[in-house]
Amino acid sequence: MKSGENAALNQPARVAVDAIGNVYVADLGNNEIRLIAPVP
């Protein structure tokens, strides 16, 4: 899993948010589910 400012998305397709505010992005170009955690 990539992290930081240089973790560019490549063909983001779907977005989901869970109960505690984590954002999940289906990144089709990189074949990954990307997690974007909320700032505490």
Number of structural domains found in the chain: 1
**How far, rounded to the nearest angstrom, does the alpha carbon of residue 32 sit from its chain's CA centroid?**
8
For position 21, what pLDDT does the model report?
Answer: 93
Overall size of the chain counted in residues: 40
Q: Residue 27 and residue 40: Cα distance in Å, rounded?
A: 24
What DSSP letter does each residue of 2-33 carry, written as one string? Answer: --STT---SSEEEEEE-TTS-EEEEETTTTEE
Tell me if 38 sits within 8 A of 30, measured CB to CB.
no
pLDDT tens digits for 1-40? 566 666 788 999 999 999 999 999 999 999 999 998 888 8
Q: Which domain holds residue 15?
A: 1-40
For position 40, what pLDDT does the model report?
Answer: 81
